[in-house]
Amino acid sequence: MTRQPGPEAPHPTRPTGPPSLTALLTLLALLPALCALFVLTAPGARAAEGDPAVSLSKKEAGKGGEITVRGSGWRPDALLMLLICGQSTPERGVIGGTNSCANADGRAVTTDKKGAFSKKLPVTEPPKPCPCVVHVATVTGEEALADAVFTVAGHPTAELPRQGGDGKLAVLATTRLEGDSSLLTWFGAPPARRLVLTVGNLGSDPVQDPVFEIGTAHGVYAPQWEERQWRGTVAPGGKARIELPVELSAGAHGDYQVSLRYGDKVLAEQPWGVGRPWGVTLFWVLLCLVVPAAVFRIGMAVVDKVRPRPAGAHRLRRPTAPTAVIAKTKTKADTDTNANATTAVLPWFTPDSAPSENRPRPTTKGQA
């Protein structure tokens, strides 16, 4: 019989590369996904993923009460400031800045590793009427804030000022610093000036009670901003002269840069050269001279008291009397001497009656 050739069996396919190379490529492909999963499951990442949130234990309370403020989604280990503010809403924020808040009764809190916190806050009346909020904001680092609606029972309520979105301020004249230093500044008192400028409203809506920020920078350091509110209204197309106080810390001297900011725009910058408080230097120089001299004098007096003295040196010297006193004393002494001499020669005793040791004693009866 002749054997007919049949169809050949299929040969098994070999991998195109070694198994170890294929597994390595698969691992490298999955590595970014694993890293992203690890980052998303980290506590800090979960806290930073969402926006900061604030919740209150009570939505309404009267003056003298207490509420618990809880937050989440904040930066880990961040220092926060808690305030009750009037004339504010979560949508428009705190109108007028922290001048609308009860700053004296605020509280500070630090978030935990997960960006959460819980803090009790006393209920006080803010300087502005309600609507009110509990305002939470970061103190240092990246700026973040959140507001929660709150009602202070018994506190006045008023409508929010009309929002003028088209108001725009611009500096029209040269900015200058006015004021002089007093004598106390020469001895280290805080230097103070007034920042004077003229602004104009280039928008179509009036700007009422604008809140400026004044920053003072020294050397290469970033400016430290402080809020300054100007009372008044700048009509559309109008202008106004604004004076804002500027004050440095005690003992400040050197070259400073004063900046004025409105919103997110820096309107003006003005250099300020502050003289050195030479009165403080003079005080320290005198102190370094007077104190050692006083200590030396005291030390010499102590040494003079406790040091041993030679024999006979301890006798006190008699004070010298005036000549008239000496003559009077000498005359009186001579008189006393003459009186004593006269008294000595008086015959107080006769020769027979004067006692004598040589005279024999009288014998008693019965004795020879």
- Residue 161 DSSP code: P
pLDDT tens digits, residue range 184-237? 888 888 899 999 999 999 887 788 888 899 999 998 888 888 989 898 888 888
Is residue 236 included in any domain, yes or no? Answer: yes
* CB-based contact 176:194 (threshold 8 Å): no
Do 101 and 178 share a domain, yes or no?
no
The strand pairing partners of 257, in sequence order, are 217, 271
Look at residue 186 and tell me if it is in a domain.
yes
CATH number of 190's domain: 2.60.40.10
Q: Evaluate if pTM is beyond 0.85.
A: no
Say whether both 109 and 146 belong to one domain.
Answer: yes
Is the residue at 288 inside a domain? Answer: no
- pLDDT tens for 254-285 read 899 999 998 888 999 999 998 888 888 888 89
With respect to residue 88, please indicate whether it lies within any of the assigned structural domains.
yes
Per the domain annotation, does 269 fall within a domain?
yes
Q: Is the peptide bond before 131 cis (omega within 30 degrees of 0)?
A: yes
Contact in structure between 72 and 48 (CB atoms under 8 Å): no
How is 164-206 classified by DSSP, letter by letter? Answer: -TT--EEE-S--EEE----TGGGGTPPPEEEEEEEEEE-SSS-
Strands 145-153 and 88-89: unpaired
Q: Which of 226, 247, 278 is the last residue of a domain?
A: 278
143 and 231, same domain (yes or no): no
Domain boundaries, position 126: 48-153
Output phi, psi for 361, to 5 deg. Answer: -70, 145
Residue after which a domain boundary falls, among 223, 250, 278: 278
The gap from C-alpha 267 to its chain's centroid, in whole angstroms, comes to 29
Total structural domains in the chain?
2
Which tokens is 129 given? 């009427």
